[in-house]
Amino acid sequence: MGASLKDIKRQSIAVDKTRQITRAMNMVAASKLKAAQSKMENFRPYADKIMDVFDSLAGRVTSTTNPLLAVREPRRIRVIMMTSDRGLCGGFNANIIKEVEKFTKEKTAEGKEVSLIAVGKKGRDPFRKKVKIAGEHIDQLSRFDISLAAGIAGEAVPPFVAEEYDELYLCYNEFRSVASQKPRMIRLLPASSVGSDEGEPESTVDYIYEPSEEELLAHIIPLYLRVLIYRGLLETSAGEHGARMVAMDNARSSCEDMLQSLTRQFNRARQAAITAELMDIVGGTEALSAG
Amino acid sequence: MADQLMLEIVTPEKLAFSDVVEEVTLSGSEGEFGVLIGHAPLLSSIKFGELNYTKDSKKTYWFAGDGYAEITNLKATVLVESIEEAKSIIGEEAQKTRESVEAQLAGMDKDDPDYERVKKTLGRAEARLKVAEKV
């Protein structure tokens, strides 16, 4: 019974404030999640279609005249790593960092060189001293559109063409549900239709291509990259809010548990104080009457 | 009406349009082309500019950004970066945009790395204005 009544009271007020904050943050995250999720859903038809077109084209064009399809011995690897700018979202960022760390370790062990393009502050900071950061996009996830993806792609593509690095990967949290995000590592460059998930392109229609297949493909690869990056950004943003919602919900229920135990402690301490006081009075009167 | 084809216009933000129409006219990178039902399967890139469709014998004009069109015999899918209905473009505002881009371009050196990009923006602003004037 170390803490005094006052101490316990003060502590429980603090915990209650934290509980209110976590509740507010949970609600903010929920509304942001809703917006991010609808953005993600609205983007899906466009993304799916672009992927389809890319797949059907990439499957046809076999010549490697396009510099973005050039397969080289992967000695230098670049990774676009997507995390959030803010913390308090559970293991959301830690999972990505772990994934990238593992990847970096593996590749370095094979004698390859890894550099990063960091999107989001939480991912950049732990790597700042370990790995070369080729580019960073910080504090932009709170509000973005496809031009951010275009910017990232625009920064990543020229060095690839100039052969400054040989492979480009993208690592982000795949949005599976509000409560579940899973780190996912995909290869962006050299671009290949194998990289996309939905296996067989169902359409085997013989299209007329205008302009030629190669030219179309040259147009669509940058677009395809932009689409993949944008999808990554959207899923990261939705995932961040989802993860924060869950984290805040957990924090709130922990706060409630703590409050309960503090209240119990407080009552017990108060009861003990009353008992001690009563004992004193009783002891005093007994002493008086005895005297 | 039997001779209608399905037109879908998709942008990164949303499914902008989805309905049956009689005819669509697109500005392809190789020139403008019209699509009716039963068109041969075609995959074409789209250059920014006018897009119009005819429904109930009435033409509606849009201004579309760069993108692609996938055409099968029953359906035309247009994938563009952006789309704006000509009605909703305010003529004065489009004019102003064009002028400001023009002024920016005039003040630039030809060797400037941004020159080409701004020039393209000007082309886009001009095309947008032209579409706006069609209404």
pLDDT in tens, B21-45: 999 999 988 889 999 999 999 999 9
A267, part of any domain: no
Task: Check CB contact under 8 Å for A211 and B10.
Answer: no
Task: Check CB contact under 8 Å for A49 and B79.
Answer: yes
Question: Which pLDDT band holds residue A197 (cuts at 50, 70, 90)?
Answer: very low
Nearest chain A Cα distance for residue B135, angstroms: 28
pLDDT tens digits for range B48-102: 999 999 999 899 999 999 899 999 888 999 999 889 888 888 878 888 888 888 8
In chain B, CATH 1.20.5 sits at 89-133
Give the ipTM.
Answer: 0.79
Under CATH, what is the fold of the domain B89-133? Answer: 1.20.5
* Percentage of chain A modeled with pLDDT above 90: 59
A9, part of any domain: no
Which of B12, B14, B30 lies at the smallest CB-CB distance from A211? B30
A-interface mutation test, from B8, B29, B43, most A Cβ less than 10 A away:
B43
Calpha distance A230→A225 (Å, rounded): 8
Does the CB of B28 have a partner CB in chain A at under 8 Å? yes
Which of A42, A49, A227 lies at the smallest CB-CB distance from B14? A42
Gyration radius from chain B CA atoms: 16
Task: Check CB contact under 8 Å for A209 and B11.
Answer: no
A-interface mutation test, from B11, B15, B17, B45, most A Cβ less than 10 A away:
B45
Cβ-based contacts of B72 with chain A (< 8 Å)? 205
In chain B, CATH 2.60.15.10 sits at 5-86
Question: Which pLDDT band holds residue A140 (cuts at 50, 70, 90)?
Answer: confident
CATH number at residue A100: 3.40.1380.10
A3, part of any domain: no
Report the number of distinct structural domains present in chain A.
1
A125, part of any domain: yes
- Domain membership of residue A183 as a residue range: 42-247
Nearest chain B Cα distance for residue A220, angstroms: 9
Check whether A196 has a pLDDT greater than 70.
Answer: no
**What integer is the mean pLDDT of A168-196?**
85
Domain covering B5-86 in this structure, CATH number: 2.60.15.10
A28, part of any domain: no
* Percentage of chain B modeled with pLDDT above 90: 35
A215, part of any domain: yes
Question: Which pLDDT band holds residue A205 (cuts at 50, 70, 90)?
Answer: low
Separation of first and last alpha carbons in chain A: 34
Q: Count Cβ–Cβ pairs < 8 Å, chain A vs chain B.
A: 65
